C-alpha cells in the first residue's frame, strides 16, 4: 500500500516498514496471507489518496511536521489504523476493519465484503450454491479436454451412484485430459497461460513459424513452461532449470529435457530457466546496459508483482544508486527504483542483442560493450536484492523467487483466473489460500496435484 510505503510525505520518503506494521495490526487479513497490502488500499492512483488513505492520513501523528521520520511513522501507524477501524470511509455500509478482515477494500465503495447470500430459486439440473459433481464433470471436460460430455457420458457418470465414486472418476478424467493437446499442446491452454509471461512478437521470432527478422525462438520458452507445469515436474524449474526442453509430435505432444539446443546460447553455469532464455534476453534486455525491463518482467510474470503499480516494493537502504545516470534518484522515481534497481543488478552480465555476443552471459559485459557510457556504470554490481533478501547472482535470484510465497500465489492465481474466470474474490479467499499453501507444502510444487485441489473447491464446483 503506497500510502504506507510513502508515509503520506511530501516530498516522497519511502516507508518500507508500512506493510509489515499493517499486517501486524491485521494478521488474518487476506492481504497479509503470504503477500503484502496493495497500494489500492490507500490510493486511487498514486499519489492521489482514496477515502481510506485520506482518513488514515488525518489520524497519522496529527500535528507532527511532514515528512515524518521512519521512527515517527512506525510509532504512529498502528494507532492511526485503530483510530479509523470502525469508520466506513467508502460509504458502503461496512466498517473499515470488517472490510480489511474480509478481503475487500475500505477505500472503494465498489469493493464489498462477502454477503453470505448465494443465488436464489431452484435449478432442476444442478445444486445451486453447493458443490455439484455433475456440474464439475461437465466443466472439467470443457476446461481441460476442450469438449462437452455426450448424453451417454453424463448418464454413465450419474450411474456411478455415490459421490465418492463420482469424485474418483472426475480425478481419473482430469489426469486423462491433462495429457491432451488441448491442454499441453502447441497453442493449448498452458501456452495461453504463458502468453503474458513470454510476450511473443511474431515478427522477430526465429525457428518454427519464423518472422521477418528472426532473432530468437520463444517456442523454447513455451516448452519449458509446459514441461514445468505437467506430470510430476517441479513448477519452480521454469525459473531455475539449467536444461532446456524440446517439443515434438502432436496428439500427444511430448516435451523432453535436453542439455543443449542450437537456439539457446547461455552456458549451463549461468542458466536460470526462462529468465535467461534467448527470447528473454532478446526481448527484455535488448541493447540495455542495466536491464531493468528484464528484471521487472520476471518479477511481474512469475511472482505477480508489478513494480509500476507499486507492488512488491522492498526498498533497499542507499538505493537507488543510479549507476547508469538515468535520473532514478528523482523524488517521483526513487520509491520504486529502490526496489527495482537491486532486482536488476544480477542481470548485469546477461547480454541481449549485439552480434556474436547476443543472448549469452558475458563476463565484464558493461566494461566490454559499453565503454563510452557514464563512468559509474562499470561500478554496477552483480549482487542484488529480491524480496528483501540479498543474492549474489541471477541463479540465486531465481532460487529466492521460486521458493517464495509470491511464486506459489502467482502460480495458483494464474490457474484460478483461467479456470474460474476471475482472480480470487473475498468469498473465495479461504479456499484460495489453502490451494496455494498446499502447492508449496504437500504437493511440492507439482501443478497437476494442485489442479485436483482446485477442481474440488466450491469456487470451481458450485454452480
pLDDT digits (tens, 9 = 90+) for 292-326: 999 999 999 999 999 998 889 999 999 999 999 99
Q: Is the pLDDT of residue 131 over 90?
A: yes
> Which of 116-120, 272-276, 382-386 is predicted least confidently?
116-120
- With 0.75 as the threshold, say if the pTM is over it: yes
Confidence of residue 18 (pLDDT cuts 50, 70, 90): confident
| Average confidence (pLDDT) over 124-132 | 76
Tell whether the model's pLDDT for residue 348 goes beyond 90.
yes
Q: Are 198 and 414 in contact (CB under 8 A)?
A: no
Whether 192 maps to a domain, the answer reads: no
Q: Report yes or no: 240 and 273 within 8 Å, Cβ to Cβ.
A: yes
Q: How confident is the model at residue 282 (pLDDT cuts 50, 70, 90)?
A: very high
Domain identity same for 21 and 164: no
* Helix and strand numbers, DSSP H then E, in the chain: 21, 6
pLDDT of residue 19: 77
Q: Is residue 74 part of a domain?
A: yes
Average pLDDT, stretch 237-263? 97
Please give the residue that has the higher pLDDT: either 213 or 114: 213
pLDDT score at 31: 83
- Choose the final residue of a domain: 68, 102, 136: 102
For residue 12, the model assigns a pLDDT of 37
C-alpha cell at position 364: 565484464
Same domain, yes or no: 415 and 325: no
On whether both 397 and 318 belong to a single domain, the answer is: yes
If asked whether residues 359 and 234 sit together in one domain, one would say yes
> Positive or negative, the Cα torsion across 405, 407, 408, 413?
positive
Place of cell 513459424: 209
Q: Pick the residue with more confidence: 413 or 108?
A: 413
Q: By three-state DSSP, how is residue 267 classified?
A: coil
**Residue 42 is placed in which grid cell?**
490507500
The answer to whether 225 and 396 are in contact (CB under 8 A) is no
Reply yes or no on whether the pLDDT at 47 is more than 70.
Answer: no
The reply to whether 153 and 278 lie within a common domain is: no
Please indicate, yes or no, whether residues 247 and 364 belong to a single structural domain of this protein: yes
**Is the peptide bond prior to 38 cis by the omega test (within 30 degrees of 0)?**
no
b/e code 330-366 from CB counts within 10 Å (16+ = b): eeebbbbbbbbbbbbbbbbbbbbbbeeebbbbbeebb
First to last CA, the chain: 34
User: Domain limits at 94?
Assistant: 2-102
What's the mean pLDDT in 427-432? 94
Question: 16-20, 261-265, 279-283, 419-423: lowest mean pLDDT where?
Answer: 16-20
Average pLDDT of every residue of the chain: 91
pLDDT given for residue 49 in this prediction:
83
Q: Are residues 380 and 418 in the same domain?
A: no
Q: How far is CA 108 from CA 100, 203, 306, in A?
A: 12, 42, 21
pLDDT at 9: 37
Q: Is residue 243 one of the residues assigned to a domain?
A: yes
Q: Are residues 388 and 448 in the same domain?
A: no
pLDDT(79) > 70: yes
How much of the chain, in percent, has pLDDT values that exceed 90?
A: 71
> Is 86 exposed, middle or buried (CB count within 10 Å of its CB: 0-12, 13-18, 19+)?
exposed
Number of domain units in the chain: 3
Same domain? 445 vs 354: no
Same domain (yes/no): 277, 420: no
* Cα-to-chain-centroid distance, residue 395: 19
Q: Note the pLDDT of residue 7.
A: 43
pLDDT digits (tens, 9 = 90+) for 360-383: 999 999 999 999 999 999 999 999
Same domain, 12 and 132: no
Band (pLDDT 50/70/90 cuts) for residue 75 is confident
Last residue of a domain, one of 376, 403, 430: 403
Same domain, residue pair 358 and 435: no
Residue 387 has pLDDT above 80, yes or no: yes
Domain membership flag for residue 191? no
Is residue 65 pLDDT above 50, yes or no? yes
**Diameter over CA atoms, the chain:** 76
Report the pLDDT value the prediction gives residue 339, as an integer from 0 to 100. 95
Give the residue from 445, 444, 417 showing the smallest Cα distance to 432.
417
Give the pLDDT of residue 6: 43
- Tell me, what's the pLDDT at 120? 56
**pLDDT reported for residue 141:** 98
pLDDT for the residue 148: 95
Instruction: Give the span between the Cα atoms of 54 and 42, in whole angstroms.
Output: 8
User: Which comes out higher in pLDDT, residue 231 or 57?
Assistant: 231
**310 CB-contact burial (10 Å; exposed 0-12 / middle 13-18 / buried 19+):** buried
Amino acid at each position: 500500500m503506497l500510502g504506507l510505503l510513502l508515509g503520506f510525505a511530501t516530498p516522497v520518503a519511502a516507508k518500507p516498514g508500512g506493510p509489515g506494521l499493517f499486517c501486524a495490526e491485521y494478521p488474518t487479513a487476506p492481504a497479509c496471507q503470504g503477500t503484502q497490502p496493495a497500494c489500492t488500499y490507500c490510493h486511487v492512483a498514486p499519489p492521489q489518496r482514496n477515502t481510506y488513505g485520506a482518513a488514515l492520513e488525518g489520524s497519522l501523528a496529527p500535528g507532527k511536521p511532514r515528512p515524518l521520520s521512519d521512527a515517527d511513522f512506525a510509532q504512529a501507524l498502528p494507532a492511526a489504523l485503530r483510530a479509523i477501524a470502525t469508520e466506513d470511509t467508502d460509504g458502503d455500509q461496512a466498517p473499515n476493519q470488517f472490510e480489511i478482515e474480509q478481503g475487500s477494500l475500505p477505500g472503494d465503495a465498489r469493493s464489498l465484503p462477502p454477503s453470505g447470500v448465494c443465488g436464489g430459486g431452484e435449478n432442476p439440473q444442478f445444486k445451486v450454491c453447493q458443490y455439484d459433481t455433475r456440474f464439475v464433470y461437465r466443466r472439467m471436460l470443457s476446461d481441460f479436454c476442450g469438449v462437452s460430455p455426450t448424453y451417454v457420458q453424463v448418464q454413465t457418470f450419474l450411474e456411478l451412484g455415490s459421490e465418492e465414486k463420482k469424485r474418483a472418476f472426475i480425478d481419473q478424467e482430469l489426469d486423462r485430459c491433462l495429457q491432451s493437446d488441448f491442454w499441453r499442446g502447441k497453442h493449448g491452454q498452458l501456452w495461453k497461460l504463458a502468453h503474458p509471461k513470454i510476450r511473443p512478437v511474431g515478427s522477430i521470432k526465429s525457428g518454427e513459424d519464423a518472422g521477418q527478422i528472426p532473432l530468437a525462438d520463444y517456442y523454447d520458452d513455451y516448452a519449458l513452461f509446459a514441461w514445468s507445469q505437467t506430470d510430476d515436474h517441479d513448477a519452480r524449474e521454469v525459473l531455475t532449470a539449467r536444461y532446456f526442453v524440446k517439443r515434438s509430435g502432436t496428439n500427444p505432444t511430448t516435451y523432453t529435457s535436453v542439455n543443449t539446443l542450437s537456439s539457446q546460447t547461455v552456458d549451463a553455469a549461468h542458466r536460470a530457466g526462462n529468465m535467461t532464455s534467448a527470447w528473454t534476453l532478446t526481448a527484455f534486455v535488448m541493447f540495455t546496459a542495466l536491464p531493468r525491463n528484464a528484471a521487472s518482467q520476471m518479477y511481474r510474470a512469475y511472482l505477480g508483482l508489478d513494480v509500476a503499480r507499486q507492488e512488491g516494493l522492498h526498498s533497499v537502504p542507499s538505493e537507488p544508486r543510479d549507476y547508469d545516470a538515468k535520473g532514478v534518484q528523482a523524488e517521483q522515481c526513487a520509491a520504486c527504483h529502490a526496489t527495482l534497481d537491486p532486482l536488476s543488478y544480477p542481470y548485469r552480465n546477461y547480454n541481449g542483442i549485439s552480434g556474436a555476443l547476443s543472448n549469452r552471459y558475458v563476463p565484464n559485459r558493461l566494461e566490454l560493450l559499453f565503454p563510452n557510457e557514464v563512468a559509474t556504470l562499470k561500478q554496477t554490481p552483480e549482487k542484488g536484492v529480491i524480496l528483501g533478501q540479498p543474492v549474489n547472482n541471477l541463479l540465486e535470484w531465481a532460487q529466492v523467487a521460486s521458493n517464495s510465497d509470491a511464486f506459489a500465489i502467482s502460480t495458483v492465481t494464474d490457474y484460478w483466473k483461467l479456470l474460474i474466470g476471475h482472480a480470487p474474490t473475498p468469498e473465495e479467499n479461504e479456499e484460495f489460500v489453502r490451494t496455494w499453501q498446499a502447492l508449496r507444502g504437500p504437493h511440492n510444487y507439482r501443478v497437476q496435484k494442485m489442479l485436483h485441489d482446485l477442481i474440488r473447491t466450491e469456487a470451481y464446483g458450485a454452480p
